[in-house]
Structures are given as structure tokens and as C-alpha cells.
Amino acid sequence: MKILRPISIVLIIIILAYLPQVIEKDSTINLLILVFLYISLASSWNILGGYTGQTSLGHAAFFGLGALAARMLWIQGFPILPSILAGGLLAVAFALLIGAPAFRLKGVYFVIGTLALAQILSVTVSNLFPTITSIPVEDLVAYQLAPRYYLFLGLACFIVGAAYLLANSRLGLGMMAVREEEDAAESLGISALRHKLLALGFSAFFTGLAGGAFAYYHVSYYYQMPFTPIWSLDMLTMVYIGGQGTILGPIVGAVFFVGLKEFLVRNLGEYHLIVFGVLFILVVLFLPGGIISVWNKIQNALARRSISNAVKLSPEEER
């Protein structure tokens, strides 16, 4: 039965890869790209926010920096993949710069502090680069959606895969220990700061890569746009809705987030954000583990059922 999981994953990826051949409407491809982007972002954020328990509201900084570096290089004529890589590296550089001082803040103050940091960057960028960046007309003609689709699909697979490997590694275990009981972890020789910084580094890198992909995808946008705090909020939202600290959680959250928003926009028009807000609050209050937790509860209930059916227990023993 265990082999079923990797096989189904490969199958899904193959199907997704095949889709652009079949789907005619650009709008659908764009929607899928959005889903892949958000999956990438959510999974990246989850590494710091979910595994390591450090709720950051500053990830827009990494996204923005990744986009900034990649866009500038690519517009100058550099090939896209190295440009995206450069974006990721710029994001990590910034992360490591602010990491140590940032982690001196605890609890609520860390959250607000990261928001403030990202805001500073956002305002500075909008002052230094107040203009729109557009793909030059000559290149615009050559713009194709399909390669971008595959880029985002590949990115999402890469990031989710990396997150999976990380979660199952010793490093990942250390991160989760830090999340659960920082002091206890320290006493076991797990350096909290080191793990937090590593988590931050990975998280920033992947977010930066996503930013680079974003820069490749959008025809024209304000340089400052990927720095806006909404991106950070969305990442946090998706992970919490889906289920933080899990692999599937961010994916479910991203799909749900994008899907729900699309659905609401189409059907409720101007009310969609209000309804979204209400639903969001309901999930927070009544599904503290996210959607994944519901899935887990169902699985547990089914497992218990099958166990008690398989092993005939006397009425007194059954509990």
C-alpha cells in the first residue's frame, strides 16, 4: 500500500504536465500558474512558520527581493534560470542579515517586527524604484505561457519535495523540537538560533525563487508590488487554513485559497472578500489544525474502526 503514495504523486505531476497540451483557455492556465505559485509560497513559508514555529509576516521581503534581482538581470539579457537563482540568493542574503537580530524578538513582537522590516524594505524600494517594469516590446512578442507554466510547476514540485526532505531530516526534527519546546530543545544540545536561522535561510531562498518566477511571468508591474504585505498575509493564511507544520497542509491551503477566492469572486463579486473573511475566521476558531486536521480526524476514526473490527474485543475491553 505504501507504494501507492509515490505512484499517485508521479501520476498527478504527469497529468499536470500534460495539461497545457489539452487546455485551450489561457485563463485556466493562468489560474493553474497562480495555484502553483501559491503552493510554492505556502510551502516555503511553512518551513519557518510551520516546522519551526516562527510566525513571520515579513516574507514579502524575500518574494520581492527575488523578483527584483531576477527581473533586473533578466531584462538586461541574462538567461532566466540563473536570474531566478540570483533572486533566491539575494533573498537568503537579506534573510541572514536580519535573522540574528530578528530572532531576539519573541512571540507577538517577532511577528510585528518582521512586518515592520518588510515594510521598511517595501517603502524603500518604492522610493528607489518608483516605476513600472515592463518587458520590452520585442520580447513581448516572444512571450509564451507554456514555459512559464512548466517553470511554476517545476518550482512547486521542487519546493514541496525539498520541504518533504527537510521535514524528514534530522535538521527538520530539530526545527520541530525548537517549535515545541525551545528551552527543552536547547538543553538537549539543539541550538535554537541555528535551527531558526537555517529554517529562515531555506524559507527565504525558496520564497526568493518564487519571486524570480513571478518576475519571469508578469509582463508589467510596479517594482514595489511583490513587496506589499498582502503577500506575507496570504502565505500565513494559506498555511493556517491548510494545516501548518505538515507537507500537504500548505498545498491544500493554497489550492483552497485560490479556488475559494476564484469561486467567490465569480459568484459574489464585490462581497467576496467579506465572505472570505468570515470563512477564514470560522476556520481559525473551529478548525485550529486547518483543513488537514479534519482529514486526519477522519482517517483516525476510520483506522480505529478497522482495528476494532479486525481484533474482536470484548465489550469491556473496547475503549
Partner 1 sequence: MVEAVVQNLVFGILLGALYGLAAVGIAMVFGVTKLLNVAHGELLMFGGYASFWLFKLLDLDPFLSLPLTIIFLLLIGAVLYQLLFVRMVKMPEEEKIKNTMLVGFGLTLILSNTALLLWTADDRSITTSYSGAAFTILGIRFPYVRVAGLVISLICLFALQQFLRRTYTGKAIRATVEDWEAASAVGIDVHKVYLLSFLIGTALAGVAGAMVSVSFTIEPAMGMHWTLKSLIVMVLGGVGNFMGTFVGGILLGATESATAFFISGNYRQVVGLVLFLLILIFRPQGLFGAKGGKQ
Q: Is 267 near partner 1 (CB under 8 A)? A: no
Q: Residues 144 to 203: which contact partner 1 by CB under 8 A?
A: none
Contact stretch for partner 1 (CB under 8 A) within 32-40, 101-109, 135-143, 170-178: 101-109
Q: Is 94 near partner 1 (CB under 8 A)? A: no
The binding track of 36-55 with respect to partner 1, each residue x by CB under 8 A or -, is -----------------x-x
User: What sign does the dihedral 150-153-155-161 (CA atoms) show?
Assistant: negative
Q: Please answer whether residues 51 and 113 qualify as being in contact, where contact means their C-beta atoms are separated by less than 8 angstroms.
A: no
Contact stretch for partner 1 (CB under 8 A) within 81-89, 108-116, 135-143, 167-175: 108-116
Q: Is 117 near partner 1 (CB under 8 A)? A: yes
In degrees and rounded to multiples of 5, residue 222 shows phi and psi of -70, 135
Please report how close the Cβ of residue 285 comes to partner 1 at its closest, in angstroms. 6
Please choose, from the candidates 224, 274, 279, 289, the residue with its C-alpha nearest in 3D space to the C-alpha of residue 257.
Answer: 279
Q: How far is the C-alpha of 287 from the C-alpha of 280, rounded, in Å? A: 10
Please choose, from the candidates 53, 114, 58, 41, the residue with its C-alpha nearest in 3D space to the C-alpha of residue 245.
Answer: 53
H/E stretch holding 214: helix 192-217
Q: Please answer whether residues 262 and 31 qualify as being in contact, where contact means their C-beta atoms are separated by less than 8 angstroms.
A: yes
Candidates 67, 215, 236, 251: give the one binding partner 1 (CB under 8 A). 236
Q: Is 108 near partner 1 (CB under 8 A)? A: yes
Q: How far is the C-alpha of 278 from the C-alpha of 272, rounded, in Å? A: 10
Q: Please answer whether residues 103 and 196 qualify as being in contact, where contact means their C-beta atoms are separated by less than 8 angstroms.
A: yes
In degrees and rounded to multiples of 5, residue 105 shows phi and psi of -85, 145
Q: Is 97 near partner 1 (CB under 8 A)? A: no
Q: Is 271 near partner 1 (CB under 8 A)? A: yes
Q: How far is the C-alpha of 68 from the C-alpha of 214, rounded, in Å? A: 10
Candidates 81, 112, 132, 303: give the one binding partner 1 (CB under 8 A). 112
Cα of 6 vs its chain's centroid, Å: 21
Please report how close the Cβ of residue 280 comes to partner 1 at its closest, in angstroms. 4
Candidates 127, 131, 309, 314: give the one binding partner 1 (CB under 8 A). 127
Give whichever of 101 and 161 is closer to partner 1, judged by the CB atom: 101
Give whichever of 77 and 269 is closer to partner 1, judged by the CB atom: 269
Place of cell 498527478: 12
Q: Is 131 near partner 1 (CB under 8 A)? A: no
Please report how close the Cβ of residue 237 comes to partner 1 at its closest, in angstroms. 7
Contacting residues toward partner 1, per CB under 8 A: 53, 55, 101, 104-105, 107-109, 111-113, 115-117, 119-120, 123-124, 126-127, 229, 233, 236-237, 240, 270-271, 273-274, 276-278, 280-281, 284-285, 288
